Structure formats: C-alpha cells, structure tokens
Amino acid sequence: MSSATLVRARMPRLRRPRPRVLLTTALAAGLLAAGWFWVRDSSLVAVRQVAISGVSGAQGAPIRDALERAAHSMTTLHVRQDALDAAVAPYPLVKRVEVSTGFPHAMRIHVVTNVAVGAVVAGGRRIAVTSDGTLLRDASAPATLATIALRTPPGGRRLTGATALAAVAALAAAPDTLRAHVASAATTRAHGLTLLIANGPALWFGDDVRLDAKWAAAAAVLADPQAAGAQSIDVSDPERPAVGGLAGGVLPGGQSDIPAAPDPTTTNPGGSAPASPGATG
C-alpha cells in the first residue's frame, strides 16, 4: 500500500450535516435577519432630535425644514442619504449634506454650501455664480463679487457660455486675497481673458490655461513696490509678465521673470496699503 493511500485511509471522513440541522440553521438565520430589519426601522430607534448646521440666510429656513422632514422619516440605524440629497435638490446653494447619528434618536446634519466666486449680470439682474458655474438664483449676490457681464440672462441652473465659464474659472483659481479686489472679468478682442482690479491695473490672462501660474505671476508683480501705478499686467505668458505704464513695459532693472511668490497676507493689488489678511471672496 502506498504512502498516499495510507494517509487517505487515516483521514477521518466528514459527515454531511443532516437535513434537519440545515433547516434549523437556515430558519435561525432568517429569524435573525428579520429581527434586524424590524429593529432597524422600528420606532425604538426613530430619529427624534435633528441638529442642522452650516446653512443660514434667506434659504436657511426652507433648507432646514426640508432636511428635518426627511430626517424624521428615518431611524438612526437606517439613514437614507438619497432622501436627504433629494430634499435639498431644489436649492443650488447646497453642495452636499454630511450626516451622523447618535443612538438611539439623534441625527446631526451639516450642510456644505456652494461658495460664490463672482456674479453674472444681465437684464438688470445680478446672480451669484459658483466655481463650477452653478447659478445661485435665490441667494444674494454681494456687490463685492466680481461682475461677469452677459448679453442675455442665463437659463437653467448653470452657465453654458464658453467665455463666461472662462471668467468663472479664472475667478475660482484666484487667491482669496486677490479675488476680493477683482471688479470684473470679461473676454476682449485685444487681450482675451481680462480681469480688472478695482482701483488698480487690468490683468491680461489671454485664456483660461495655466491659471494658477498666471495668478502667481500677477500676485508677484502686484506685490512689487516698483510696479505701483501700472495700468496693466500681461500674464498671458506667466514666465515673462509684462507691465504696462512703466518704462519699457517691464519692471525697472529689466526684471521680467517672476519674483519669489509673496506672502498672501501682504499681497498689495493697488500698490498702496497692504490688503487686509481677513479679506475673502
């Protein structure tokens, strides 16, 4: 007899479970599952206290009401994110909702809102717009937001025009301390994408490519005291920014390469007093 045969002969034979055992096990598993689903959706863990944060202003009340109604239809063991998302879908101000629960009856909802980077103006109406082109029709559009002029009022929930979206992209890419000083954004035949600094120079971007590099170049020139009084800053080639209104169109000394990036808390768009560290867009 071979060694393999001896090993097989010594191994104990596994018995097949009896049908009664299998049936009992299946019934027990089914009862446990049914019990879980019953407890999960029972009043024992129903949501009774809802705390909502992150939203205020004119739309705050209806958004909170919508979320509370949705939350009270749930339990702390069965949170339906899709129902919460559907509750705030009519409000473009809401970017997303984050939820957590406290057993057995508490639910906490934090509303993350879209942030406006500019305001489109058409037909005498001013509408705040976010970095992805979402139009916040029911939210206020502060006068401090940069203006994007349109020939006709926008339809739908988002901007669709290429030039308007390019302006939005440039504003979204701006450092907060600089965006707060941009008065308008538009596309011109002479210089392409152009952003006008309030009481300061025009920034000629050309297009919406390499926006981070262009803003870095603009910030470096604006922070340089020798660029004070410039009428324009051409950053269409961010490696070699050109300054209009200064002798030769470049900084004194022939320097045209980007200087070291300034501290954003001391960025000086107007060439006079430093910008306030608390300025935001």
Boundaries of every domain in the chain: 44-113, 160-266
pTM: 0.70
The full DSSP string for the chain is: --HHHHHHHHSPPPPPPPHHHHHHHHHHHHHHHHHHHHHHTSGGGB--EEEEES--STTHHHHHHHHHHHHTTSBTTB--HHHHHHHHTT-TTEEEEEEEEETTTEEEEEEEEP-EEEEEEETTEEEEEETT-BEETTS---TTSPEEE-SS---SSB---HHHHHHHHHHHHS-HHHHTTEEEEEEETTTEEEEEETTSPEEEEESSSSHHHHHHHHHHHHT-GGGTT-SEEE-SSTTS-EEETSGGGS-TTS--S--PPPPGGG--TTSSSPPPTT---
Residue 279 confidence (pLDDT): 32
Residue 40 confidence (pLDDT): 86
Domain 44-113 class in CATH: alpha beta
Cis peptide before 262 (omega within 30 of 0): no
281 residues of the chain, pLDDT tens digit each: 555 555 455 666 666 767 776 677 777 777 677 766 777 899 999 999 999 999 987 789 999 999 999 999 999 999 999 999 999 999 999 999 999 999 999 999 999 999 999 999 998 899 999 999 999 998 889 999 999 999 999 989 999 999 999 999 999 999 999 999 999 999 999 999 999 999 999 999 999 999 999 999 999 999 999 998 899 999 999 999 999 987 655 555 444 333 333 443 333 333 333 333 233 33
Sequence-distant (≥ 6) Cβ neighbours of residue 272 within 8 angstroms: 228
Residue 256 confidence (pLDDT): 39
Q: How do 135-136 and 125-130 pair as beta strands?
A: antiparallel
- The C-alpha atoms of residue 219 and residue 174 are separated, in whole angstroms, by 10
- Tell me the β-bridge partners of 40: none
Residue 267 confidence (pLDDT): 37
Reference 122, options 151, 91, 80, 143; nearest CA is: 151
Residue 274 confidence (pLDDT): 33
